[in-house]
Amino acid sequence: MRVKMKQISCLMLMLLLVFPALAQAEEFTADSKISSVTVYTNRAAVTRTAKIKLPQGAHTVVFRGLPDRIATDSLRVEGSAKADVVIGALAHKRVVTQELTSEKERMLSDNLQKLADQIGFEKAEIKALNNRLQLMDAIKIHALQQINEEIKSFTLQPLQWISAAKKMQEEAAAVKQAQQRHDINIRDLNEAVQKVKRELSSLRTGSRSSYEVTVPLEAMAATELELDLTYQSGNASWQPIYDARLDTESGELVLVQYGAVRQLSGEDWQNVALTLSTARPHRSAALPPLNPIWVNSHEVTKANLNGATAVGFAFSRESEMLQEYQKADVPMASMPMKQAVVERKAQFAAAQVDTGGFVAEYRVPNMVTVLSDNEETKLMVGAFDVENKLEIHIQPQHLAEAFLVAHGKLKSEAPVLPGQVNLFRDGAYVGKTRIPLLRPEEEHNLFFGVDDSLSVKRNTLKDERKDDGLIVKEASLERHYITEIKNLRKTAVDIHVRETVPVSKDDEIKIEILRDKTTQGYETDIDKIVGLTGWSFSLAPEEKKDIRLGWKVIWPQEDRITGLP
């Protein structure tokens, strides 16, 4: 046995002499921090950076404490060093602990425990004060008995008993005041407890597990290695928000873009380089398969017995299609609407940014911090160059008001993504709206509220219904309107008036615009909307203009029609 042990020891010594790298093998814990984050519409790619001084040889570097919500399939590592370093295949494992893995959750949980301890202390003080009151009550009962005995024996000393009663009263008042102070303290502590509970509830992780990632590598010479570990993490999103600032004197429109970022990934992004991307890396890279759709005919009675109704076929086909999409790893949102029949528990509300296939990235200037608390962080992205023209839009059949409109054309090279727009007119906030995807040179209208510098009056000149006809019984409705517009500004304005004229869906219902009762120069079916009629013109300062509209509807008298305003 001793001979065998000596042989093994000699063999190990020889191996160490031949392969000195084996003698230097060591495990290093990466002291990493998050250096950069790319936020997508429903997740984020996080990069952690660590610098390790490596001796020559084979080693392992371990990244510890990664959140348990990371997508392990997305793990990848890159490194740079002055000496040659070979990086092997990554390995990961989940580590379960007794403590919460989120630092902020641990802090809040500790605060909750401290508050509970303080409430317990206050309650103990109140209990002690109650004991003092009970003791004073016992003394009071004993004193009354003694007073009765002194009265019977004519040895009562009033001044002494009055002084004692005063002391007892003062003591009882002090105890009651102390109790009230402790009650107030408990009330304040309970409010603090509720606040901490709300913060904990907003975090909603409750995670007591984390990931460890092991990186095997071999350094050909001693060197300092900079290692970047990148992974995707869920519960993170961003959406664009804009400020549209209009100067009515100059007509200048400034469109500023912000990125509203929120995340609940389980780790804070402290002082990181942040990029906002419209790409959606979770989508499938390939189309789902197109399989045959088999349709069979059955006898009615047999179909009814088997439940193979048309509705049953539709639902079974939807179930088939759903399975095909799931096999192809296609998200539910990309399926046809009628086929998305399975509901799943709602998790984190991801921003919906539909860019029509366009992918853009926005690098946020300066280093930023986004905490893992699900609170929105608004970050400045940049401004867009917009060529703007002020217009007045009037829809008199809805409202006798003139609305100020900024008709803008995008001149920037980057597109404007869909999102909420906060509207400011001459520095004052007037409301908000939404903007669609706008590519360079595309135009869009932004409404900035009522413009009181124009007067609009709307009147009905004729509203007459007739039932006539000797041979062919017909009914008719004729209406005439007039809209009076006056420019009270000191400058000329471009005005667009829009009205809708009834449209027939039945060949027996005839509708016509009365040209002799209608101001000429109008357009019909504007923006491909059937029945939308409009006039466009310019009004000089103090100039007036009347817009007249007349139309007539004729239908068979015995018929009943619907839809007329």
Residue 534 Cα to chain centre, angstroms: 39
Q: How far apart are CA 362 and CA 513, in angstroms?
A: 51
Strand partners, 551: 479, 513
Max mean pLDDT among 63-72, 188-197, 198-207, 428-437 falls in 428-437
Strand partners, 483: 458, 547
Three-state SS at 480: strand
**In percent, how much of the chain has pLDDT > 90?**
39
**Sign of the dihedral through C-alpha 463, 467, 468, 474:** positive
String of b and e for 395-407 (b: at least 16 CB within 10 Å)? bbeeebbbbbbbb
pLDDT tens for 170-226 read 778 888 888 888 889 888 888 888 887 777 776 666 667 788 999 999 999 999 999
pTM over 0.85: no
Q: How far apart are CA 403 and CA 100, in angstroms?
A: 56
Predicted pLDDT at 374: 84
Strand partners, 238: 261
Average pLDDT of the residues in 451-464: 94
Which helix (H) or strand (E) is 312 found in, with range? Answer: helix 310-327
Predicted pLDDT at 333: 36
Which helix (H) or strand (E) is 106 found in, with range? Answer: helix 103-152
**In percent, how much of the chain has pLDDT > 70?**
77
Residue 369 scores a pLDDT above 50:
yes
Q: How far apart are CA 154 and CA 122, in angstroms?
A: 47
CA atoms within 13 A on the CB side of 489: 20
Number of H helices, E strands in the chain: 6, 26
Residue 253 scores a pLDDT above 90:
yes
What secondary structure, in 3-state letters, does 351-407 show? CCCCCCCCCCEEECCCCEEECCCCCCEEEEEEEECEEEEEEEEECCCCCCCCEEEEE
Residue 106 scores a pLDDT above 50:
yes
